[in-house]
Amino acid sequence: MRSLVDLAGLPALSREVTEHIICATADLAYVTDLICYEPALEAAVAALAAGAPLIADVPMVAAGITAVPVICKATDPLTIRLARSAGITGSAAAVRLALGAAGPGAIWVIGGESAALYEILARGAEPTLVIGLPAGLSAAADAKAALRASGLPSLTNMSAKGGPGPAVAACSALLRLAAAALPARSAMAPPPAAARATAAAQATVPARRA
């Protein structure tokens, strides 16, 4: 890949994330499409190394993240009931429940619907990082622009493209960097207390190697 595109001018973490996304998508246009903020990525890596909760908006994103436990409320029966009773989308309901389970400081990985990004903004979440890479011609670009304008630490792209693949790739890059920062914890397991708290809240996710 490096013979096709020169990423030498990017900061270290931004380069790692960009490389992972390009390798996952075979789309070189992400070089100029991604918007990475190096201090936010540094904070995310430190938080992941310390066992911060990781939240996925849809099962396809959750299934792609296997190095640590993942909270995903998309298929929770409570999500369906909340969506019906509150008159909101399933994505918005899942965000509400996940926020209640994880609290502030989480890493959010959004690769499904744009509604999840809007709900994160509406609920006053205090994330360490929002990986906001949903796809869609009608609303995705606007939702990502709103995320950037909010001032929340984020990793997004300017165009309407995205999806679970790029979102998982970005998260995997950060997890890999966090694991490298803690060589003694090769499995990147969070501290026992964090592991118990996350496991209690997470949805069941198939075990597959990233």
How far is residue 112 from each of residues 16, 58, 61, 90, 142, measured CA to CA in Å? Answer: 23, 6, 8, 11, 14
User: Distance between CA atoms of 146 and 165, rounded to whole angstroms?
Assistant: 22
pLDDT at 38: 97
181-191 pLDDT tens trace: 876 444 444 44
Is residue 138 very low, low, confident or very high in pLDDT (cuts 50, 70, 90)?
A: confident
Question: Hey, which CATH number is domain 12-201, 3.40.190.10, 3.40.50.1820, 3.40.50.300, 3.40.50.10230?
Answer: 3.40.50.10230
Helix, strand, or coil here: 147? helix
Q: How wide is the angle at C-alpha 115 spanned by C-alphas 109 and 118, nearest 5°?
A: 85
Is residue 180 very low, low, confident or very high in pLDDT (cuts 50, 70, 90)?
A: very high
Is residue 149 very low, low, confident or very high in pLDDT (cuts 50, 70, 90)?
A: very high
Assess whether pLDDT exceeds 80 at residue 147: yes
Rounded to two decimals, the pTM is: 0.84
Estimate the crossing angle of helix 140-150 against helix 114-122, to 10 degrees. 30
Sign of the CA dihedral with 198 first, then 202, 208, and 210 last: negative
Phi, psi dihedral angles at 17 (to 5 degrees)? -65, -45
User: Distance between CA atoms of 43 and 116, rounded to whole angstroms?
Assistant: 22
Mean pLDDT of 54-82: 95
User: Distance between CA atoms of 51 and 173, rounded to whole angstroms?
Assistant: 16
107-121 pLDDT tens trace: 999 999 899 999 999
Assess whether pLDDT exceeds 80 at residue 45: yes
